[in-house]
Structure 1
């Protein structure tokens, strides 16, 4: 069954996760995320969708310790909100994207240090009133066979 995404053309499902859908300008070769109809660099309307690499490296991060303001539409309330980590991920040969990093905020220094290899996956964002789960994307550290993060 296909995942319900918070936005159209955000990601595609692959065997072990999701790949983000970015755009590549056919005129200046700029790659960006999310995809859009015009290039932010040269304003060309010649943009082609392309899937971005699943893996990248943490470029920088911070913790979000308060409930985001509208238009944020998550399921948390002030009472049950838990801090989370958000960062910029450098996807090799593509672009840098912003996203949640799925590690405990109090362990981010050890689990999501700069340069840590991470991969994209479908993150359960909220449940709709009809019970359907809506997903976004997030990143998690790549774990080696020895159980260590890269």
Structure 2
């Protein structure tokens, strides 16, 4: 049986039937950050709380990445099997803009302002055969 492991601890709730990104919000000035931080970049306060971020947002900006990503964001693809993919900023309401891999991979599929939803999917397999999962966004 294959196990699923998160690409990094503390980025999103996992395992979960309804996963969410984990950000931090300053209790003094209200600024949200992703990934979560120990202190506020705006006011310097260490009074921050981890919170689940909204699962849906709007595509703020995007591009198509036509080269293989480096560690730790590499996949199981090889130079021969690599396919370009979308990368974008998704604006989460009341929170932050999150940079993310997008499941859509062509300019025809992506439009600024389109609604996007968080998904957790397999990025690659590790040396023990575990599925390494990460977050992405897909069009709704």
Q: Deviations along 1:127-147, whole A, 9 cap, x unmatched?
A: 0111110101000111xxxxx
TM-score by length of 1: 0.84
- Equivalence for 1:118: 116
- Equivalence for 1:91: 92
Please give the secondary structure, in 1, of the residue aligned with 2:20.
strand
- Equivalence for 2:25: 24
Whether contact under 8 Å (1:18, 1:137) holds in the other structure is no
- CA 1:64–1:117: 2 relative to 1, 3 Å: same
1:66, distance to aligned residue in structure 2 (A): 0.8
- CA 1:76–1:43: 2 relative to 1, 3 Å: farther
- CA 1:96–1:64: 2 relative to 1, 3 Å: same
TM-score by length of 2: 0.89
Unaligned runs of 5+ residues in structure 2 are none
1:28, distance to aligned residue in structure 2 (A): 1.2
Unaligned runs of 5+ residues in structure 1 are 143-150
- Equivalence for 1:137: 135
Q: Deviations along 1:10-40, whole A, 9 cap, x unmatched?
A: 111553x421000001111100100021111
Query: What is the root-mean-square deviation of aligned Cα atoms in Å?
Result: 1.9
- CA 1:101–1:73: 2 relative to 1, 3 Å: closer
Instruction: Provide the aligned length of Structure 1 versus Structure 2.
Output: 138
Question: Matched residues in 2 for 1:70 and 1:124: separation?
Answer: 15
- Equivalence for 2:48: 47
**Structure showing greater relative contact order (alpha-carbon pairs closer than 8 Å, 6 or more residues apart):** 2
